[in-house]
Amino acid sequence: MIRILLVLILSTFSSAFSYDTILLNKDFLSENIAPFSSYLHTGKQNYSIAQITGPTLTRQFSPVHSDVYSFSNTPGSTWFTFNINNPTGQYQRLYLKIETPFIESAELYFQGLNNSGYQSELTGQQLSFSERPHQFGNLVIPFDARLGSQDLYLKITPLHTSSMKVRLVDELTILSESRMLFLLYIPLNCALFFAALFAAINYYRYRDLTSVWTTTVITGSLLNLSGWNGSIGWLISFIPHIETIAINCGTFLTLFGLAKILIAQRKRQSSWTANAINLFAWVLLVAVVASCTPLSKYLLPLQIMLVPASWALFALHWFERRTESSGDRLMLAGYILFAGHFTGLTLTLIGLISALEANLIVIQGLLIAANILVAFSSWLYARQNITLPSADKPNFSGALWPILRKLNHDIRGPINGVLGMTELLQDTSLSAHQQEFVNTLQSAGFSLLREADQLQNLIHLGLNRLPEGEEEFDLYDLAEDIVQPYSKIAHSKNIELVLDIAPELPSRYRGNVKIITQILSILLDNGLKYTEYGEVIIQVKPWHGQRVRFSISDTGPGMAKDTQERLFDLPSDKNPMAQTPKDVHLGLPICKYLVNLLGGQLSMNSELRMGTTFWVDMPLQSTLPKGFSRTSTDENALNGIRLMVVDDNMTCCKVIEHLAQNWGMSVITMSNAQSALANLHYEYHKHKPVDVLVLDQNMPSMTGSEMAIRVRQDPELNRDIVIIMLTGSDAVSAELEDDDLGVKHILRKPVSARTLKESLQLSLPEILQNRETHRAKQNNSYFF
């Protein structure tokens, strides 16, 4: 009796400390195997399944006292064993699902259906996605469960410290979960993709660097998300460790973009903070490059170190910077959500949080929200940069504006008196030296007048008395009216002033003519002011989104990068660097504000000793009917006319050549008079004489008037050829009216397309008559 009682007690204790088997008689199987399993850490010892199942190693297995498997930094492999029982009377297709991406290899050993010993199935990051046994999950091992009871052995080699759950699921469950995750992750990935597209479009529209770095942040987040959920394998299925590469590259790229966003706001932080963030951004960029190599699987510890360091610097930036606008507050909220996301990922990497799908979904939800906030705030920043907040207006005292207004009115009287007297002096007989003095005096007077105009624009800006209302205007007439007053200044400085308007532009537009005139006048005056030799080119052409682009390019000295950063800043208490007179600019800050007022965009490019270019993209709506063509019968009459342009400035030659070719004319360009005369002889003796000769008066070695005399006196040329002379001086224009020169039209530089075309059309009867005369002479020579 005592013996029977002892047997019962021992059996009770043994059952209490034994682990249950997993029964496979459920309709939907989803069982965590950790409570049913025991483990053995074998380190770097590469035991076979026969050795593991032998009596020596079997006794060394210990029970798992947790619902999750935790791996420390100890290198090597760990074996797990658990028992399943299939009482259903039929074979079952089962799946072992490992919920973590940080597994180098996971190999399952199970008994074959015909009791043929242990078979194995391998998965893990050491295999590319296409080589894994199951592609509808991150790390899934399929196997067939035979009838009855059997022990399974799972060998896991972790890639990094991790806490994970391993579940045993049936086919219906794996398909249902895969479908659910597919429906979840596809919208999340699409949300990030469209956020990146939104940021890229913002850069295209506003050319704001914050949008570029926002696109970088979202791209990195998309890589990070697709690495954690395994969807990157659907796109890149042939590279081992693709999940780790995506996680590392995405994390470093996201942090790099977040650092560059703060650098773009460097005006609001101390210099050493900006330098520290900039240096750290370069470190992150190196890490991005390294994570795209096979070394990526060793960079997970580096990620654990760089993430806290980066957020320490980001926190310092936000501590120094005050949130002054809704864009700042949204950006700060986005950074806080990013901090929460990366904190969760770091805790997951060091094993304090399990890499469960439920946990990852919460962490990834923070990532989506953070990216949406940053993308929206970058859009607000871009709009603020083009619509210029009221804080960027002059913040002088309200009592100062009437004083400035009176000062502007008082100085205009003497300036007008000086300019009026110089015009009267020019009408008198003056010696060459006296004429030079008067020209210098007049140039100085015009400079003072332009400065008074700048001051008047500033006063109108401060008093909110800007011109209002839109009106219909002719774009070609507007460009000519703006450029022509500056031709005298360009000629006095021996600078070539070129106006190039694209022929395909419609002529009629609606807009604020007065503000557009102020903007272009400021930029043109700025280009002529700082250009001592070379040329200033004004180009007008169609641009994207029903916009017209005005560009003013000069060959001046150019500007350094630090000068460009302060170029559009008015003096204020927040900008102490712009207090010295040489650093104070009135025209360009006013110009930027006026461009923003019309919904346009002002940008620039400048290099030292290479010149400067300003672009103004204005949203202008054409008032002409859609599909309207400006081509007329008079313009078609220019087809086939042979034109020769002689000018030492090749830009001017190219502009006239482009215009004439659009009108159907045949164009020859020459850079000097000697070559032009030789070519005229050649074309004449080929019986293809030039119909129209366009000459620049101010050419070296031989002027335009001297070449015209040579043409008229040469019996071997067409003496009646139509000559159009280009000049930049009114005094020279009077000299060119001599009948001996036979100049048909005298055009003032810069020559507009409309003026040139009208001159050619007026010359058409004479051109056709010259052709008939030449043809008659040619026929007579054949007859005799």
Q: What is the pLDDT of residues 400-448, one digit of tens each?
A: 666 666 677 667 778 777 777 787 777 788 787 787 787 778 777 777 7
Predicted local distance difference test score (pLDDT) of residue 526 = 86
- By the 10 Å C-beta count (0-12 exposed, 13-18 middle, 19+ buried), 408 is classed as middle
pLDDT at 17 over 70: no
pLDDT tens by residue, 497-530: 888 888 888 888 888 888 888 889 889 988 888 8
What is the C-alpha to C-alpha distance for residues 361 and 185, in angstroms, rounded to an integer? Answer: 9
CA 632/CA 630 separation, integer angstroms: 6
Strands (E), 586-700: 601-607, 611-619, 621-622, 642-646, 666-670, 692-696
Number of H helices, E strands in the chain: 25, 26
What was the pLDDT predicted at 738?
59
pLDDT of 783 above 70: no
Which one-letter amino acid corresponds to residue 629? S
Question: Looking at residues 490-494, what average pLDDT do you find?
Answer: 81
Kindly indicate the confidence band of residue 609, based on its pLDDT and cuts at 50, 70 and 90.
confident
Nearest to 504 by CA among 665, 667, 668, 663: 663
C-alpha distances out from residue 511 to 235, 438, 474, Å:
49, 39, 10
Position 326 scores a pLDDT of 75
Mean pLDDT for 225-253 is: 88
Query: Is residue 379 pLDDT above 50, yes or no?
Result: yes
- pTM of the complete model beyond 0.75: no
* Domains delineated in the chain: 17-176 (2.60.40.2380), 181-390 (1.20.1070), 400-622 (3.30.565.10), 633-783 (3.40.50.2300)
Name the amino acid, one letter, at 190: C
Per-residue confidence (pLDDT) for residue 704, from 0 to 100: 87
Q: Is 75 exposed, middle or buried (0-12, 13-18, 19+ CB in 10 A)?
A: exposed
Least confident range from 54-63, 370-379, 618-627, 629-638: namely 629-638
What pLDDT shows up at residue 5? 45
What DSSP string runs through 346-363?
Answer: HHHHTTSS---HHHHHHH
Q: Give the mean model confidence (pLDDT) for residues 172-197.
A: 84
What pLDDT is stored for residue 15 in this prediction? 35
Residue 381 has pLDDT above 60, yes or no: yes
Higher pLDDT, 101 or 731: 101
Cβ 224 vs Cβ 251: under 8 Å = yes
pLDDT band of residue 8 (cuts 50, 70, 90) is very low
Provide the mean pLDDT of the chain: 80
Query: Which pLDDT does position 402 carry in this prediction?
Result: 67
CA–CA gap between residue 488 and residue 495 (Å, rounded): 10
Quote the percentage of the chain above a pLDDT of 90: 15
pLDDT surpassing 90 at residue 645? yes
364 closest CA partner among 226, 233, 248: 226
